[in-house]
Chains A and B, each alone.
Chain A
């Protein structure tokens, strides 16, 4: 379990970015972090990863204090996939890119090969080992970034807006991958602006506003309160809109909507 208590962060010790964030993320959860631009979402994940240090507060992973941990310490436990795939690939081949983390974490030769193979298989990149990462499409680059994080065998995966700039097909592939890793037991922390993704995939939503934690609950709790959702600068998912319009109650996903519509049709017949 990842525990954050009273995390504060400010730029130049005056502009507050995070204000007393207290949060618990349990094993196997998909936790979405949402909020307006500049609300502190990415900063929060960067602090969890150790890229930035909180001004004060306490962080714990299981029983270990990770408040002062550096990213290299966290790499064994947490995989971090940055927002822009172009800025996180640096090796000369796909194989080298994925092998970087296992090598740095001291895996032996066989373990490196095995973890690279597994990560490439999991992300559907097998066969591209010798390709240059720079020459891949944006979607493949994002998948490669995920594979590179997975190769270190982390328990938690942080995805910072992974679907931004992706076409429909890649978006679907990425979300399926995320779901698959989660079903295999991985905890996912997902930074996103996409309410449909939150409604369909997240177990829990955390909403930040100007560095303050304004909501921490399930998607159902959030989206069934339209006034709160809008007040936090978010939009209702499309399925919720349609469901309300047809008096079907709260439907988080198109699947739920379809099911309720079908039930209503049957009852009318």
Chain B
């Protein structure tokens, strides 16, 4: 199931996101969310993305609460929170089950995106685990210097604020190093490139895309 071509997964993520924007029924959105969760669990990647899933769940609850406080109805608040979480989960699932090289290859070979832009997308994705590791390292240093995680979310947020500045510094430094390293290895906009990653769609990809498109069109027209 997770051996679909990268393009199939990108399109599926887009279809799910589009559906969540166009559907205005919280029950259907909840159903979509459940399907995503089942797929996520069966993908075997839950260990890898479980923490992010929980964090997003908490964030969506916060979003729901803020909307309620700002005077939105329960239904609208719920729909907004569900949309956010469905879109994030679909992209997360796509990223967790696809190699970045395959995403780049699909974007360049099949979506005709210029390589430098496709590379930018994958470079950003490649940075995410680095930045997470960096923030984890700083959390460990803080813990070694007596920091205890507070139950108060605002205090925790303030502690996170301290580490944002050095992380931005390091991200800039890292991107400069990466740019120099790329140029030194002959990276150029004008070079014609080839890709090792296989991107060709198979019969199963076409079938899945057809089913996804038809069922989402039906859902959107019904709800």
Contacts and interface: CB of A to CB of B under 8 A. Distances in A.
A149 B145 contact: yes
Interface in B129-177: 134, 137-138, 140-148, 162-163, 165-166, 169-170
A92 interface: yes
Given A87-B137, A87-B138, A88-B137, A71 B166 contact: no
Contacts of A100: 142, 145-147
Contacts of A104: 142, 145-148
Contacts of B134: 87
Interface string A31-61: 0000000000000000001010000000000
Interface string A168-185: 000000000000000000
Contacts of A91: 162
B144 A51 contact: yes
Interface string A93-121: 00000001100110000000000000000
A87 B167 CA distance: 9
A106 to B, nearest CB: 8
Contacts, number: 63
Nearest to A106: B146
A101 B145 contact: yes
Contacts of A79: 144
A19 interface: no
Interface string A136-158: 00000000000011001000000
Contacts of A72: 143, 146-148
B144 A49 contact: yes
A82 interface: yes
Contact of B143 (A70, A133, A134): A70
Interface in A242-264: none
**Residue in A71, A100, A105, A149 with the greatest tally of chain B CB atoms within 10 Å:** A71
B163 to A, nearest CB: 5
A92 B165 contact: yes
Contacts of A74: 144
Contacts of B142: 90, 100, 104
Interface in A66-95: 70-72, 74-76, 79-80, 82, 84, 86-92
Contacts of B166: 89-90, 133-134
Given A76-B146, A91-B162, A82 B169 contact: no
A188 B69 CA distance: 54
A75 B162 contact: no
B146 A90 contact: no
Nearest to B148: A72
A87 B130 CA distance: 12
Nearest to B163: A90
Contact of A86 (B143, B163, B170): B170
Contact of A88 (B141, B146, B147, B165): B141
Interface of A: 49, 51, 70-72, 74-76, 79-80, 82, 84, 86-92, 100-101, 104-105, 133-134, 148-149, 152
25 contacts: A49-B144, A51-B140, A51-B143, A70-B148, A75-B143, A75-B144, A75-B146, A76-B146, A82-B141, A84-B137, A86-B170, A87-B137, A87-B138, A89-B166, A90-B138, A90-B162, A91-B162, A100-B142, A100-B145, A104-B148, A148-B145, A149-B144, A149-B145, A152-B145, A152-B146
Those 5 A-B pairs whose CB atoms lie nearest each other, nearest first = A104-B146, A101-B145, A71-B143, A75-B146, A88-B141
Interface of B: 134, 137-138, 140-148, 162-163, 165-166, 169-170
Given A75-B143, A82-B137, A88-B141, 10 more contacts: A51-B140, A70-B143, A71-B144, A75-B146, A89-B166, A90-B141, A90-B166, A104-B142, A104-B146, A134-B166
